[in-house]
Amino acid sequence: MSETVALTAQGVSKAYGSRTAVAAADLTLRRGKITCLLGPSGCGKSTLLRLIAGLEVPDTGEIEADGRRLSWAGGAVAPEDRGIGLVFQDYALFPHMTALQNVAFGLRKLPGRQRRDRAQAMLEAVQLGTRGGAWPHALSGGEQQRVALARALARAPQILLLDEPFSGLDAHLKGEVRLSLTEALRAAGATVLVVTHDAREALLMADDLVLMHGGRIIQAGAPRACYLDPVSPDAARLLGEVNLIPGQVRAGLAHTPFGTVPATSCADGPAVVMVRPEGLRLAEAGAPAHVAQVRFGGGYHEVQLKADGQQAHAHVAGAVPETGQTVTVRIAPDLARVFPAEA
């Protein structure tokens, strides 16, 4: 195993009865990097996380860290012996212990005095140095999460797993929490796997992005590459709003009612053109389209367009068309991809 790889999972599967939760998943975590595992709810991402934590035993496949086999078909090193930390979606703070006692919980090997000092230092690292005596129910959601993070990091785990770290937070808190969380994780230099269904948070946090759908890992790579170059319509949809417009490929060009895009790697025949809403642009020249509806969306206007019986929506900044108007549109090639039509 190379210096830069902290953990690998190979061909890992897990089924509950007849339902397959994870199917032959391969995953690599780079040392000191933040990897985000993104997928819709029920796609098996939490199961994969629990497999890595040792809370579940895989049916097939292997999980290995630092040359040590952690899980194999039908068996696993116990969670307490893996050196992997986990921050739970509901934080799972122990209600009968103060914040400080929670953080000190995993430090049993240290003598009492050192144990308290280390726990206190961990709390200070997440800006909660003065809240050590507070009971979990007296802490805000964001504070609870930081205590849970300090608790997991106190043991200096080689790998830290976070399960949906933003799901319990108010929308206006998310950005702030993401920044402080990312900062704390980078400071700790930990290898991190974050499971989330929030595409925006995943794009903003990840060094490496892994997309999961229907129990399978469908794409892995840098966030930008995944966003701009999805391997399939499913992968494209995971990362945000997308138009999927049926079209025809002829001689290296995909033709749709909203314009044409280069399709060099596609054979002639029916195809699907994937274009992000910001890639569908009003232009001086291009394909004519009917404006069906205009909605104000904050930083942009959302414009529903119809052409030749097809529908698409565009995010328009700047001059806004009016409902009922006919406009000319074109597709920005760098924000569009062409897939062969699915059978």
Partner 1 sequence: MVAILPLAGVVAAALTGETAAIPARDIARYAATSAVLAALVAVATGALGSLAAWLVVMHRFPGRDIFAWALALPLAAPAFAVAYAYADLFDVAGDLRMWMRAALGFDLPFEMRTIPGAAFVLTCAFYPYVYLAMRAAFVNQSAHALEAARALGCTPAQAFLRVAMPLARPALAAGVALAVMETLADYGAVQFLSVQTLTTGVVRAWFVFGSLTSAAQFALPLLGAAALLLWIERWGRGGRGYESANARWRPLPVTTLSRPAGLMAGLFCLTLITLGLLLPAAWLVIAFLPVSPDWPRLIEAGGNSLTLAAAGAVVTVALATALALGAARVPHLARLASLGYATPGAVMAIGLLVPAAFVWRLAPGAAQGFGAGLIMLIYAYAARLMAAALEPIDAGLSRVTPSMVQAARTLGRSPSGAAWSVQLPIARGALLTAGLVVFIDILKELPATLILRPFNFDTLAVIADNYARDERLAQAGWPALLIVLIALPAVIWLTRKIAASRPGAPA
Residues 29-58 touching partner 1, rule: CB under 8 A, are 53-55
Compute the distance between CA of residue 121 and CA of residue 293 in angstroms, rounded to an integer: 56
Q: Output 75 or 297, the one with its CB closest to partner 1.
A: 75
Task: Name the segment binding partner 1 (CB under 8 A); options: 4-12, 89-97, 216-224, 227-235.
Answer: 89-97
* Residue 165 Cβ vs partner 1, minimum distance, rounded to whole Å: 14
Q: How many CB atoms lie within 10 A of CB 153?
A: 22
Q: Is residue 7 close enough to count as binding partner 1 by CB under 8 A?
A: no
What type of residue is 282? L
**Contact predicate 15/72, CB 8 Å:** no
* Residue 77 Cβ vs partner 1, minimum distance, rounded to whole Å: 12
* Residue 131 Cβ vs partner 1, minimum distance, rounded to whole Å: 19
Q: Is residue 138 close enough to count as binding partner 1 by CB under 8 A?
A: no
Task: Name the segment binding partner 1 (CB under 8 A); options: 40-48, 145-153, 276-284, 304-312.
Answer: 145-153
Q: Is residue 131 close enough to count as binding partner 1 by CB under 8 A?
A: no
Q: Is residue 112 close enough to count as binding partner 1 by CB under 8 A?
A: no
Q: Output 143 or 274, the one with its CB closest to partner 1.
A: 143
Which residues of the chain form beta strands (DSSP E)? 5-16, 19-30, 34-38, 60-65, 68-72, 75-76, 84-87, 159-163, 191-196, 208-213, 216-221, 243-250, 253-256, 259-262, 269-275, 280-296, 301-307, 310-316, 326-331, 336-340
Residues 285-324 touching partner 1, rule: CB under 8 A, are none
Compute the distance between CA of residue 11 and CA of residue 24 in angstroms, rounded to an integer: 4
Among 39, 3, 45, CA closest to 191? 3
**Site for partner 1 (CB under 8 A): which residue of 8, 28, 60, 89?**
89
**Site for partner 1 (CB under 8 A): which residue of 12, 65, 70, 86?**
86
Q: Is residue 92 close enough to count as binding partner 1 by CB under 8 A?
A: yes
192 beta partners: 34, 160
- Over the window 181 to 210, marking each residue x when it contacts partner 1 by CB under 8 A and - when it does not, the resulting string is ------------------------------
Q: Is residue 80 close enough to count as binding partner 1 by CB under 8 A?
A: yes
Strands 326-331 and 68-72: unpaired
Residue located via tokens 């328009």: 316
**Site for partner 1 (CB under 8 A): which residue of 106, 259, 277, 279?**
106
Q: Is residue 111 close enough to count as binding partner 1 by CB under 8 A?
A: no
Q: Is residue 218 close enough to count as binding partner 1 by CB under 8 A?
A: no
Phi, psi of 227 (to 5 degrees): -70, -45
Which residues does 173 contact at the CB level (< 8 Å), separation at least 6?
141, 142
By CB under 8 A, how many residues form the interface with partner 1? 26
Compute the distance between CA of residue 190 and CA of residue 160 in angstroms, rounded to an integer: 7
Would you tell me which residues interact with partner 1 (CB under 8 A)?
53-55, 78-80, 82, 84-86, 88-90, 92-96, 105-106, 108, 137, 148, 151-152, 155
